[in-house]
Structure 1
Amino acid sequence: MLLAGCGGGDDNTPASSQQAAQTVTCADMSGKTVPAASIGLATGGASVTSATVVKATDAGNSNGEYCKVIGKITPAASAAAGTPDINFELNLPTAWNGKAVQMGGGGYNGTVVTGTTAVSFAPGSVPLAQGYATFGSDSGHTGNSATADFALNEAAINNFGFEHLKKTHDTAFALIKQFYAKSPDKSYFAGASTGGREGMTVVERFASDYDGVIANAPALNFSGVRLQGVKIGQAAYGTPGGYINTAKQKLILKTVLDNCDADDGATDGIVSNVAACRAKASTITAALRCPSGADTGDSCLSDAQLGTVAAIQDDLVLPYQLAYGVNRHQGYNILQGADFSGGLGLGTSATLLSPPTVAANGYLYAQGDGYLKYFVTKNPSLDSLHFDLNNPGQYQQRLVDLSATVGAMNPDISAYRSRGGKLIILHGLADEVISPNVTIAYYNAQVAKDGQSAVDSYIRFYNVPGMGHGDGTFVPAWDAMTALDKWVTQGTAPDVLVGTDTVTATSGRSRPLCRYPTYPRYKGSGSINVADSYACTAP
């Protein structure tokens, strides 16, 4: 059937019959508007700037036929001068399944999330191809992901933090109803990293809008991760000899694997039994240390370099509280298999650039430096190497306020649970950008507060050994949307899932995706490349 639009029927029209009553064409969507009164937060309304049919046979399209809607949400009249529009894309499939997925962004956003690709950190799950109407936005600014200078505009911070999510959701739903003449039967959110934070944000702030959420590698404690990045930079570049070069970055991983790879019963380059490996941290540190503590070459680490390892490994603990009483950012698994030698690791240069760059000076420090300059102090000339994290003086309240605006640490998600919402969280244990230990702590706090049975009724939490921030030794393809949709619509809660490796060198091997706190342990027989050869085991 050609994409002539959808219409007719009420909100209870079965998805399978919606196409038969279409009354609005894709071309008709161009110029459509959504009044400010239909959007739950203050805006100047929204408008569609273009609407075009993408045919199933178009080059590069594997999503079937759909109507591609491009639009913008303008700031409210009361917004500060210079506040950017929120640009969005909405995709309306001809073979609509009656449901919608809002897709999250990454980093500091700044580019429109098209909604035409797989769920982040879940390759193999492409909602548009599966029949979902999909949508996403640029979060209210364009570009600037490297320096975060969009944050000089306070309204843009609010949009990035949480407001764009509600504004885009309400706009998309109004347009979906105009096109199909009915609202979606189910509303989902899916994203990773910043998109994972956004997923947790809608659970915490806009619970009534979503039936299910996928939050992969969520940047829950956004302020904490940025401040820990500054701490790491201060250790690497503010301490003489603290920088760890690429050869030594690789040495750390090799030493960890030598000590911990076999702890799960299989020698496969993956540290699966992270708890057992953590118990060996002092042994690994001793093996890495240069005998005299001075730098004697690439076969060991000096005491200054081990200080940088500690800045990565240890929790950042602040003498004051951020939002929701949080005063800690849990450290990274650098001594348990996380690889900091890649493009999102510690960088390649012992020389600190001005401003720091991800490639030269490491992702965590470069992003932390930009956060202090643009979000916190509004001073692009700030010297972050000498910023006192423990005594930020006039900026302490600012840090507290920002941690509430841009973050998802609110422990109260009872409204989402009460409305029957379902939540799937997945985090790689070798993540070098967003520490999995923050997510683990948040989940454990939910269990301590509400009990395991209550948490099991609406949260599934998976840890993936060997998986970094979308990279690593094992990067699984898994069908996140099917798992979530079956839980929401059929009441079938996911248990152990199966992930198929997408890493080129090991493509096609499989592992069970185990629910926390279990990990995949080799049974002792069968191929180590097949999921059935592993059992999810408590550490």
Structure 2
Amino acid sequence: MTTEARTAGTSRTAVRPRRRWGTAALALATGAVTAATLAPTAAAATTPTGCADLVGTEVPADAIGLPTSGAVVDSATVVPAAAPLPEYCDVRFTIRRVDPDAPDVSARVNLPTDWNGRGMHFGGGGYNGVVPEATGNAPSAPPDTPPPLARGYATFASDSGHTGGNATFALNEEALVNFGYAALKKTRDVAGALIRARYGTDPHHTYFVGSSQGGREGLTVAQRFPDDYDGVLSRVPVVPFTALQLAGNRVGAAVAAGGWMNAAEIQTLTDATFAACDPRDGVQDGLIARYPDCDPDPAQLLCPPDVDPATSDTCLSAAQVDLVRTVRSDLELDVHLANGVRSYPGWPAGHEALSWPFWITGAAPLPETQAPGAVQPGGAPFPGTSAVANFGAQWVRYAIAQDPDLDTRTFDPDDPRWRERIREVSEIVDSTDPDLSAFRARGGKLIMQEHFGDYAQSGFAGARYFESVVDELGRRRTADFARLYVSPGADHGGQGAPSLVDWVSLLETWVEDGEAPRRVVQSGTVGTVARTLPACQYPEWPRYRGGPVEEAASYRCTGSHGHHR
């Protein structure tokens, strides 16, 4: 299939719109991409354009695959080479809104003077709201890996259609749809037009890389816009997004109900988890590599009747045990979310001290000095609350209830009055469609990576999504184009365990040369010790078989291909 044909293909959103949308959301989803709409931009880009000459360039609305009021280049500046980056043209552009009350989409594309013929879309993070520079490295890249821009990629990114790293944007329907998926398509189409204008041709391959929110966005483009991307790297994707926020809000309620834990109590929990699970992978080394079935009973830590939990850090209160159970248990929902999802999996046990103090019990100041107050703070974000609860509470307030004053700790997602809105929001934002057959058919490749010391989101959620793809397409067909690799013990950002891999090189080789990754080795540290470890494919885990504990060659991947958690 030619580049022009791929670019001109009808978007999946137009072919199969999401179910049960509100009127405004459905209207924003019906823009189709056709050869006719892209023709004006393609025809104008027959001669390469100088960097400064891009200023003021207009990309018409009919050249963008979803509804906009067109786009304009605000600035274009040559940035001199400075290691590790080459000389490039820094182009900033605005994609104009349709709804006059909605924000515009702000975006950029970096155009290297020495272009390698490829494009790379960088995803965002958190609730987005800022334009990523797209000059840094791809997720999980080892420190000595050259950034994509240094390799000659034209890189681009956007703020997803709002400013400010919080969920207040969700009060506007166009902004919500932009965040969910539409800004990705709009940014890709405008960046593609500017790449074509600068170099006189389209990229011969286009990739997407992202972590966390960007990981969800990577799955989004593979599901909704399969003709636009040749390869996707999705690290620790926050899916299913709506269910994750409801689970996070539930965690916040359990923290506020007496489950809050200080640093010493979290260490008590961590020590008990390591005692139960660390040796089960064949070596006691400060890393729980056998992650799929580590689930010790927190009731063993309950303070005996003669010990006051308020004065002891070596045992837990009943409310704290309930918090641990809440974190590790599935959230079951009465409502059917997008693609039939009805639950969010519990977080994995292990490595709690690495990230519980931020994600679960309190963001700032340090958890030993900041228990939650009796009154939920207002605003966005909520100061002093745990990060996972903060994200969840904001989503409940602004996207679902659309009430900035709602006390989210009493919010019940099974209350019938919220059911339709939860479903509608899920259809817009959740990236859980298991049917990746169109992406596979066009030769697309997907690499996912999950961290199992991650308390921002549960690694089992990405695993469930991947298994849903297997259920949809079959294991053999899925293995042709998609892999899920695991990093036991790594936190959301990849700290605490080996998790570093040059995924861009592996993805590029798979896409362009047809060579799938073989034995993948990830690097990092456990404590202060440098380690390497096999990157096993889910649900396998690295079992120690003898030799230096610090070396990947001392492990082999083991486990069954059944469903876990």
Relative to the length of structure 2, the TM-score reads: 0.85
Unaligned runs of 5+ in 2: 6-45, 561-565
CA distance in structure 2 between the partners assigned to 1:122 and 1:153 by the alignment: 36
Q: CA RMSD of the aligned region, Å?
A: 2.2
CA 1:270–1:184 in 2, change beyond 3 Å: closer, same or farther? Answer: same
Correspondence for 1:53:
78
Q: Which residue of 1 aligns with 2:260?
A: 243
Rate the CA distance shift 1:358–1:377 in 2: closer, same or farther, 3 A. closer
Q: Distance in 2 between matches of 1:199 and 1:171?
A: 18
Please point out which of 278, 281, 290 is paired with 1:273.
290
CA drift at 1:389: 2.3
Pair 1:117-2:117 in alignment:
no
SS of 1:109's partner is coil
- Given the superposition, is the C-alpha separation of residues 294 and 401 from structure 1 closer, same or farther in structure 2, using an over 3 Å criterion? farther
Cα displacement (A) at 1:425: 0.3
Distance (Å, rounded) in 2 between the aligned partners of 1:475 and 1:341: 19
* Range with bigger deviation, 442-451 or 301-310: 442-451
Change (3 A) 1:503 1:269: closer
1:483 aligns with 2:506: yes
Partner of 1:262: 279
Flag the 1:209–1:181 CA change in 2: closer, same or farther, 3 A.
same
Structure 1 match to 2:387? 363
Superposition map of 1:489-500 within 5 A: 489-500=512-523
Where does residue 332 of structure 1 map in the other structure? 347
The alpha-carbon distance between structure 1 residues 358 and 217, as it changes in their structure 2 partners (threshold 3 A), is farther
Is residue 290 from structure 1 mapped to residue 303 from structure 2 by the alignment? yes
- Counterpart in the other structure of 1:528: 549
Equivalent position of 1:139 in the other structure: 160
Aligned-partner residue type, residue 68 of structure 2: T
Provide the rounded CA distance (Å) in 1 between the counterparts of 2:443 and 2:231. Answer: 9
Q: Which amino acid aligns with 2:358?
A: G
Q: CA deviation at 1:315?
A: 0.3
- Is 2:231 the partner of 1:212? yes
Which residue in 2 is equivalent to 1:7? none
Query: What is the SS of the residue equivalent to 2:292?
Result: helix
> Are positions 1:70 and 2:92 aligned together?
yes
Q: Is the Cα contact below 8 Å between 1:11 and 1:182 reproduced in 2?
A: no
**Distance change >3 Å, CA 73–CA 105, structure 1 → 2:** same
2:267 matched to 1:253? Answer: no
CA contact (8 A) 2:496 2:526 kept: yes
Q: What is the aligned partner in structure 2 of residue 151 from structure 1? A: 170
The alpha-carbon deviation at position 112 of structure 1 amounts to 0.2
Matched length = 505
Confirm or deny: 8 A CA contact 2:350 2:489 kept in the other structure.
no
What CA distance in whole angstroms lies between the structure 1 residues aligned with 2:150 and 2:4?
A: 23
Q: By how many angstroms is 1:355 displaced?
A: 3.1
Alignment-derived partner of residue 515 in structure 1: 537
Contact 2:545 2:556 in 1 (8 A): yes
Matches within 5 A, 1:428-439: 428-439=451-462
Q: Distance in 2 between matches of 1:70 and 1:364?
A: 32
SS in 1 for 2:134: coil
Partner of 2:62: 37
In structure 1, the partner of 2:103 is 84
Cα-to-partner distance string for 1:462-514 (whole Å, 9 max, x where unaligned): 011011101431153211111111001000011331112167823x4221211
Report the residue type matching 1:510 in the other structure.
Answer: T
Change (3 A) 1:11 1:402: closer
Is the aligned partner of 1:350 residue 2:363? no
Equivalent pair of 1:464/1:513 in contact (CA under 8 Å): yes
- Superposed CA offset, 1:310-349 (max 9, x none): 1110000012211211110111013576844343332122
One-letter amino acid of the structure 2 residue matched with residue 71 of structure 1 = F
Residue identity matched to 2:253: Q
Secondary structure in structure 1 of the residue aligned to 2:198: helix
Which one-letter code corresponds to 2:168 in the other structure? D
Q: Distance in 1 between matches of 2:510 and 2:469?
A: 20
Structure 2 vs 1, CA of residues 23 and 183 (structure 1 numbering), >3 Å: closer, same or farther?
A: closer
Mapped contact 1:39–1:170 kept (Cα < 8 A): yes
Distance 1:161 1:463, change over 3 A: same
Measured in 2, the distance between the counterparts of 1:447 and 1:119 equals: 26
Output the CA distance in 1 between the equivalents of 2:229 and 2:53.
28
Distance in 2 (CA, whole Å) between partners of 1:89 and 1:127 is: 15
**Secondary structure of the residue that 2:528 maps to in structure 1?**
helix
- C-alpha displacement of 1:125: 6.0
For the residue of structure 2 that corresponds to 1:454, the secondary structure is helix
CA contact (8 A) 1:313 1:335 kept: no
| Aligned mates of 2:150, 2:526 — CA distance in 1 | 23
Partner residue, 1:378 = 402
* Counterpart-to-counterpart distance in 2, 1:37 and 1:376: 32
Query: Unpaired runs of 5+ in structure 1?
Result: 1-9, 13-20
Matched, 1:304 2:341: no
Partner residue of 2:211? 192
Question: What is the alpha-carbon distance in structure 2 between the residues aligned to residue 275 and residue 102 of structure 1?
Answer: 32
Q: Contact 2:184–2:221 (CA<8 Å) still a contact in 1?
A: yes
Q: Report what 2:423 is aligned to.
A: 400
Distance 1:309 1:56 in 2: 51
The C-alpha deviation readout for 1:191-212, integer Å capped at 9, x for no partner, is 0111011010111110111111
Q: Match of 1:215, SS?
A: strand
Counterpart contact for 1:135–1:172, Cα < 8 Å: yes
* CA distance in structure 2 between the aligned counterparts of 1:131 and 1:332, rounded to whole angstroms: 39
Change (3 A) 1:28 1:73: same
**Matched letter for residue 448 of structure 1:** D
Return the alpha-carbon distance in structure 1 between the equivalents of residues 315 and 113 of structure 2.
60
Cα contact 1:101–1:133 (8 A) shared by 2: yes
Indicate conservation of the 8 Å contact 2:273/2:350, yes or no. yes
Query: Alpha carbons of 1:369 and 1:23: their partners in 2 closer, same or farther (altered >3 Å)?
Result: closer
Instruction: Quote the residue 2:195 is aligned against.
Output: 176
Question: 2:528 aligned with 1:505, yes or no?
Answer: yes
Percent of counterpart pairs with the same letter? 38
Q: Is 1:321–2:336 an aligned residue pair?
A: yes
> Secondary structure at the residue paired with 1:191?
strand
Q: 1:252–1:46: structure 2 CA closer, same or farther, 3 Å change rule?
A: same
CA distance in 2, matches of 1:302, 1:294: 8
Query: What's the CA shift string for 1:258-283, capped at 9, x where partnerless?
Result: 221122223221110113423xx23x
Q: 2:441 aligns with which of 418, 433, 440?
A: 418
Aligned partner of residue 360 in structure 1, secondary structure = coil
Question: Given that residues 277 and 336 in structure 1 are in contact (C-alpha distance below 8 angstroms), is that contact kept between their aligned partners in structure 2?
Answer: no
Partner amino acid, structure 2, of 1:438: A
Q: Secondary structure of the equivalent of 1:207?
A: coil
Single out whichever of 81-90 and 182-191 deviates more from structure 2.
81-90
Q: Contact 1:339/1:345 (CA < 8 Å) preserved in 2?
A: no
What's the CA shift string for 1:154-175, capped at 9, x where partnerless? 1111100100000000000000
Matched, 1:443 2:462: no
